[in-house]
Structure 1
């Protein structure tokens, strides 16, 4: 069945029509098409660039049934593209073959060296093994790998020379490196090593933002999960670690604003459950200082472009969400799509 959608396309803010032929958008009219969206606002499918579907508890392995449920939760919320920057195992091949599921960009399992991250929750390697493991995981996934660059403030970050060698080796093979970093040292090392994305970025020195912008390093601040953690920390007894966490989180509004103003790509990633809540993350990005259009774009067209997919254009994948009102005027609108179309099929 050929379908037609028409409405105001974002980010162009132009009224346009598309015809859906198979799983592709077409601008050339096709006769006898069924109109499934008539008016409102059209966005490229939403994107969560930091989500971990397939398991909800530390130490458990990927489960196919849980993975499918999580991805459907994403899909039904209009999240039609996800990046899994590290997981408890490699995302199985059947995910890419299932037309009912969002498109997935995987980074394989987390790569953690001794003393960093939860032991056994991902792939544990020594610092000497890290380079080869990173190249292997990038080649076995969607071109990404994920390195745990630091952990707690009283523990040293992964050495700069080690991380630099990893990034250079993965880049030489055409891959990209996401780095978990939440300490000042870890963030600095990730930027100076030339990582492609900083996951979290808490305690990032704003003086590094210009370098990030120049080399194309994106920031994924995962504000929702840290916001929840801050609420718990405020109710806890004072400790040095609690103060470290709260001071880092309280600096995030200024950091997010400064990153955007410096030209850094700031993206929406949830890093939490339930899946399908990237709209709430976009709202936090706006609340923390991103212009509303940048916050929406960070969960849609900006993120899709960063991951190598087009927005709404002739020949693009037929992955889109439609809204009754303009989400760039009210970011909360993102949570209420009136129509979700994935791979040319209406799913909501």
Structure 2
């Protein structure tokens, strides 16, 4: 039986290395005897891509969660080289069979969206009273991959989840060993998420840049999903002037500025798509670069930085054998990121 080997200039280190595949693990020492098959021979291998904000399983809040749609979406991710996803909230909890399917990307789920009254599409998540939030947050984190997702605000002109309540929920989840993602699109919602100690801000629209140093110090990541917002930007600029239009444009332009400022302040900025079809994280990495992040940092936000943040190593001895390889350096040729030459998931060649 042939031993599968990988050789190339590994990113982000840009060092030429050779690995062999030991089941679903990477090994750097001498390969066992027998024939060796180079499944990657040259080029640029990097840790499997990551989408940290995707909602596979349904394409709208009106559609029921469907196992066949879930598998279709996850396969779309895999075919694009996305081998690890975080699902910050879904209509239903992630089925147990997902983790056991060797053909699918690894999944870090966050249970059902947690929505207090008036702060989400009715019935799309887990609707709870405000005083139920701390206990419900612990329940969802415990029933998933350790994450829960709180809808921290909703309408642009209505109050966000109160700071004291959100702080209590975050503290309860942290005490249980979990992590909290917070949806925030208003200045109050973003402020409360940061002050409450959330682990990630989803969107962060209207985020006060004065809070970036605090985010960096406490380890709060920013997941702006710029591509999803950017897809609608022209339509918003074309609308008749109104308070809502002005608020959206101010928030959008602030998001673009904050991405670069957040990176420079030491905040972990990550790539998430929040859109369909799945498997478009390369476009999000391009938006991060367009917003001012260095090319390597924007690429890392969709690969090694995101994997490290989710608790998985890069291409090192004993790491999961999840990698994508490119004929050209995707940091220097961003268009290449959407077209991997080789995809290896759990030690098996997927493409």
Same fold (TM over 0.5): yes
Deviations 1:97-125 (A, max 9, x none): 10000000000110000111111111111
The 3-state SS of whatever aligns with 2:121 is: coil
Matched, 1:210 2:213: yes
- Are 1:18 and 2:19 matched, yes or no? yes
Who is 2:9 aligned against? 8
The answer on whether the counterparts of 2:148 and 2:181 sit within 8 Å (CA) in structure 1 is: yes
**CA–CA distance in structure 2, aligned partners of residues 234 and 208 of structure 1:** 28
For residue 199 of structure 1, report the CA deviation from its aligned partner: 0.2
Shift of 1:33: 1.9
CA distance in 2, matches of 1:132, 1:270: 29
**Displacement of 1:251:** 1.8
Contact 2:112/2:140 (8 A) holds in 1: yes
CA distance in 2, matches of 1:150, 1:229: 20
- The answer to whether the 8 A contact 1:292-1:330 is kept is no
Does 1:341 pair with 2:347? Answer: no
**Residues 286 and 331, structure 1, Cα contact 8 Å, conserved in 2:** no
Q: Distance in 2 between matches of 1:96 and 1:125?
A: 28
Aligned to 2:335: 332
State the shift of 1:195 in Å: 0.2
Aligned counterpart, 2:298 = 295
2:273 is aligned to 270
In the TM superposition, what whole-angstrom CA distance separates every residue of 1:71-100 from its partner, at most 9, and x where no partner exists? 000000000000000011101001001000
Match for residue 151 of structure 1? Answer: 154
* Deviations 1:263-301 (CA, angstroms, capped at 9, x unpaired): 000000000001000000000000011000000000000
SS of corresponding position for 1:150: coil
Please point out which of 309, 313, 327 is paired with 1:310.
Answer: 313
TM-superposed CA distance for 1:246, in Å, is 1.1
Q: What TM-score does the superposition give when structure 1 sets the normalisation length?
A: 0.99
Quote the offset at 1:60 in angstroms: 2.0
- 1:233 deviates by 1.3
Q: Distance in 2 between matches of 1:272 and 1:279?
A: 13
- Contact 2:289–2:295 (CA under 8 A) maintained in structure 1: yes
The equivalent position to 1:175 in structure 2, one of 152, 174, 178, is 178
Offset of 1:345 from its aligned partner? 0.6
Match of 1:38?
41
- Equivalent in 194, 199, 213 of residue 197 of structure 2: 194
Q: Residues 207 and 255 of structure 2 are in contact (CA less than 8 Å); yes or no, is this contact kept in structure 1?
A: no
- Between the aligned partners of 1:275 and 1:312, the Cα distance in structure 2 is 24
2:58 to 55, 66, 86: 55
Aligned length: 348
Indicate if the aligned counterparts of 1:2 and 1:22 stay in contact, CA closer than 8 A: no
Which SS does the other structure have where 1:91 is aligned?
coil
Shift of 1:331: 2.1
Distance 1:156 1:230 in 2: 25
What TM-score do the two structures reach when normalised by structure 2? 0.98
Alpha-carbon separation, structure 1, partners of 2:115 and 2:4: 47
1:99 corresponding residue in structure 2:
102
Q: Cα offset for 1:61?
A: 2.0
1:230 lines up with 2:236 in the alignment? no
Q: Displaced runs of 4+ in structure 1, greater than 3 A?
A: none
Query: Which residue is equivalent to 1:240?
Result: 243
Q: Which runs of 5+ in 2 are unaligned?
A: none
For the pair 1:140 / 2:125, whether they are aligned, the reply is no
Residue 27 of structure 1 corresponds to: 28
Q: Which runs of 5+ in 1 are unaligned?
A: none
